[in-house]
Chain A
Amino acid sequence: GQQVMQIPQYQHVQEGEDFTTYCNSSTTLSNIQWYKQRPGGHPVFLIQLVKSGEVKKQKRLTFQFGEAKKNSSLHITATQTTDVGTYFCAGLPSGSARQLTFGSGTQLTVLP
């Protein structure tokens, strides 16, 4: 079945440094979604990417979808302590399936 790998598993950064998490799917995706989950919280939808090579920005966050629609990345510029949490990618495979396959997440710690 489809697998979605996400790296790194953990990332500690100093406040103000940049952060990137990468997501790779074993199969071509129809679209990819990104979520943020704070400790003890629930996943909160950030963005969805649909088109090959798509790049979207939300303030300090930049999301990319690979040309082959099998990988994606989330980059945060100048991290802040409010960015702390686990970032998950979730892929929807091409075809008729509607279930999202989540990556294992990248847990971001921002040191003040």
Chain B
Amino acid sequence: NAGVMQNPRHLVRRRGQEARLRCSPMKGHSHVYWYRQLPEEGLKFMVYLQKENIIDESGMPKERFSAEFPKEGPSILRIQQVVRGDSAAYFCASSLGGGRTDTQYFGPGTRLTVL
């Protein structure tokens, strides 16, 4: 019973490059959430997606960041032209439904380092 999968687990990029983070939800889950965690801080909500739809992107920076969850394949968080301030752990979570009491299960995270 595989949990939420994220890859890569660690990603190093130079300033100006692109970062692509992938998230495969738990089997049967169709709701995906992305969070960012800076060192010794809590998680900050970025975006909530269902298959082929962005439901809530109120936590996404207006520029350089985008997310998708296609009909087939994993959800992808894309960061263009990365800067040092993008260095953080990015966690994906999935839930079975989008109900308000649905539990979110977190993946192992992708730790992005921007040189």
Contact = CB atoms under 8 A, between A and B. Distances in A.
Do the two shown chains form a genuine complex with each other?
yes
A99 B48 contact: yes
B62 interface: no
Contacts, number: 56
A98 B49 CA distance: 11
A98 B102 CA distance: 10
Q: For the complex, would chain B's binding face be called helix, strand, loop or mixed by DSSP majority?
A: loop
Contacts of B56: 97-99
Interface residues of A, number: 25
Nearest to A99: B45
A28 B101 CA distance: 15
Q: How large is the interface on B (under 10, 10 to 19, 20 to 34, 35 or more residues)?
A: 20 to 34
A33 B103 contact: yes
B104 A45 contact: yes
A35 B58 CA distance: 23
B100 to A, nearest CB: 5
A50 interface: yes
A17 to B, nearest CB: 23
Given A44-B106, A97-B56, A98-B55, A50 B44 contact: no
Interface of A: 6, 30-31, 33, 35, 41-45, 48, 50, 88, 90, 92, 97-105, 107
Interface of B: 33, 35, 40-45, 48, 55-56, 58-59, 91, 98, 100-101, 103-109
